[in-house]
Amino acid sequence: MVPEQLTGFLLHRRSYRETSYLTDFFTLEWGKLSAVVRGVRGTKGDKKSLLQSFQPLLLSISGKHELRNLHQLEFNGSMLQLVGNQLFSAMYLNELLNRLLPKEVPHPELFFSYQHSLEWLSDNGEIEPCLRQFELLLLQELGYGIDLTQDFENGQRVEAGIEYCLVLENGLKRINNKGPGSNRFSGESLLQMSQQVWTQDSLQCAKRITRMAFSPLLGHKPLKSRELFQQTWTKSKPDPIRNVK
């Protein structure tokens, strides 16, 4: 049974029949949940006004099937103010969660990381470290975490002066030959990533690694947050999610 009251955030909503919405929430207690919100489209009621992303909510859901019914919804704090790059980055986090999380599997550490990431972005914090740390934790929670400190082939520790490549579903292994390539990462950057020491090199390394790791999980369907960014934001601005498929 789903608890009577849950703490969560709206990830996505879409029209359902003539007057309702299908909604996806990320909750502390039950992870991702889907629910029907009935009779709110075309109205100006409180419930509809609360169906906005990036604001903490208390919600009451019932039903024994995968698609449940939402009954009560109320504020659980102030709506976070997000604009520009910060808004697009938060939309990107929502899309990752909605597309990749299994339903009704609790992920409390990921939930608190998501909440902290939204607060960080709303305070105009640096975007790149925020996204990279969240991506790495999400991969770990999904069972695709990467050991950034060990060569999976021989069990030896990653060395700063050595280059490594990523073998999906296995981990990192040492590269003995020299040369260019997109699947080459310096041991120094990998060790910095493992300690969340964010430099230009370690951020770039993390971006490339998470792109590779997410690619088979996301498939060929492009991220809408990425398309929206391209359509509405200026070309001169740095794109914090440009390397995500």
Residues constituting the chain: 245
Q: How many domains does the chain have?
A: 2
Q: Are residues 20 and 124 in the same domain?
A: no
Q: What is the pLDDT of residue 71?
A: 85
Whole-angstrom Cα distance, residue 92 to residue 173? 30
Band of residue 220 on the pLDDT scale cut at 50, 70, 90:
confident
Indicate which CATH number applies to the domain containing 62: 2.40.50.140
| Residue 140 resides in a domain | yes
Q: Around Cβ 72, how many Cβ atoms within 10 Å?
A: 12
pLDDT in tens, 69-87: 998 899 998 878 899 889 9
Q: Tell whether 204 and 122 lie within a shared domain.
A: yes
pLDDT in tens, 17-73: 888 899 999 999 999 999 999 877 766 666 777 899 999 999 999 887 777 899 889
- Shared-domain flag, residues 103 and 150: yes
- Give the model's confidence band at 93: pLDDT under 50 very low, under 70 low, under 90 confident, else very high: very high
Tokens 């939930």 appear where?
A: 111
pLDDT category of residue 238 using cuts at 50, 70 and 90 = low
State the pLDDT at residue 3. 55
Domain that holds residue 13: 6-75
| Residue whose structure tokens are 């002066």 | 161
Mean pLDDT score of the chain, rounded to an integer? 89
Say what the pTM is.
0.89
Together in a domain, 146 and 236: yes
What pLDDT is recorded for position 19? Answer: 84
The domain boundary residue, chosen from 75, 94, 123: 75
pLDDT of 196 strictly over 50: yes
Tell me: do 153 and 221 sit in the same domain.
yes
Give mean pLDDT, residues 142-155: 96
Residue 134, pLDDT > 90, answer yes
The H-or-E segment that residue 134 falls in is helix 127-141
Q: Based on the domain organization, do 130 and 93 belong to the same domain?
A: yes
In a domain, 40, yes or no: yes
